[in-house]
Amino acid sequence: MLIRAPILEEERSLDDVVNNLDKTFMELVFSFADAKGLTDAEVQKKANLDRKAFSKLKCGTTKNPSKATALALAVALELDLDDTKDLLSRAGLALSPCSKQDVIVQYFIEKEAYDIYEINVALFEHGEQLLGTQAV
């Protein structure tokens, strides 16, 4: 099966959207990483994940990540809001307007501020779970 990398939103065709329907969470992560020219190590580092947690996801030991890990990967890949929602949905997750963590992360994504450490400072200041550092 040929996996096509996602392309920028303005270049997306209906066929591109339909062809991405059957991708798993991690297949989509790697498609976005490939499209942005990021290596696995760069994604892992930008997501603030340790090698063991990232390896579990990559090898399929852990099928779906925690919400904090999924959000960390979306930030690491510098996804826009629509792509973030798509990625989260592959893990059975969604952004909630009632979740302080989700609202904070969404704020940074909308501002295109993808520094995970800056996001984690804001999360910490509001008593929320940090992105990336936790178990998968």
Sorting pLDDT into bands at 50, 70 and 90, what band is 134? low
**pTM for the model:** 0.81
Q: Does residue 77 lie within any of the structural domains?
A: yes
Question: Residue 130's CB: how many other CB atoms inside 10 A?
Answer: 17
Q: Does residue 96 lie within any of the structural domains?
A: yes
Domain ranges, residue 85:
23-125
Q: Does residue 18 lie within any of the structural domains?
A: no
pLDDT, tens digit, 9 for 90 and up, residues 25-51 = 888 999 999 999 999 999 999 999 988
Sorting pLDDT into bands at 50, 70 and 90, what band is 54? confident
Q: Does residue 15 lie within any of the structural domains?
A: no
The tally of domains found in the chain comes to 1
Asked if pLDDT for residue 82 goes beyond 80, the answer is yes
Q: In percent, how much of the chain has pLDDT > 90? A: 62
